Amino acid sequence: MDHIPTTEAAVAALRAIAAEYGLAIEVSHDIGADQTSRRTAAGVGVTTDPDGSLPHEAYVELGGRPHVSVRLYPDDDALITVDGVECPDIARDDVPAFLRALYDGHAWVKARRFPPSEFLMVPLPGDRVHKEFISINLSPWLAGRAR
């Protein structure tokens, strides 16, 4: 697994994935401490962090099914939303593998009868699986992956 050092490098990786799977992609950028979502306390007009760095956040929407959006944070992590299911705290380096697992059909929904619950299960490199509780009604794409 390659280390993705910057938000811009992560956006480039997402553009490559979109091209690989024939998906439309829309990207918006928020640059500066006064623009990024996690630094709202920075104050108006304060663009750099206390260490002098310029935080860069990006929001990416991918076309196709499932509906996927990715918010890349400047802190080396991401929030991936799959058909309304939010998967927070995904390491930036794991984002490409997470998306490939979705688009290659390796992700599934684990359904339990008792107590009734559903989890989105996404395999990641190194024999890891991201498990996210589903608190919404299953979309057709999610329902089609229930086991």
Q: How far is CA 41 from CA 8, 38, 78, 127, in A?
A: 24, 8, 20, 38
The pLDDT value recorded for residue 25 is 97
Q: Does 69 reside within a domain?
A: yes
SS3 7: helix
In a domain, 89, yes or no: yes
Q: What is the mean pLDDT of residues 128-145?
A: 95
Give the pLDDT confidence score for residue 54 in this predicted structure. 61
Q: Say if 68 falls within a structural domain.
A: yes
- Looking at residue 129, its amino acid is V
> pLDDT confidence of 4, banded at 50, 70, 90?
confident
State how far the alpha carbon of 78 is from the alpha carbons of 72, 85, 96, in Å.
Answer: 5, 14, 11
For 27, other C-beta atoms within 10 Å of its C-beta total 15
Cβ pair 138, 118 in contact under 8 A: yes
pLDDT in tens, 73-121: 888 899 999 999 999 999 999 999 999 999 999 999 999 888 889 999 9
- For 20-62, the pLDDT digits (tens) are 999 999 998 775 555 555 544 445 554 555 555 566 688 999 9
Percentage helix, strand, coil, to 5, in the chain? 25, 35, 40
Q: Are strands 85-91 and 128-133 parallel, antiparallel or unpaired?
A: unpaired
Domain encompassing residue 84 = 7-103
- Count: domains in the chain: 1
146: which DSSP letter? Answer: B
In a domain, 64, yes or no: yes
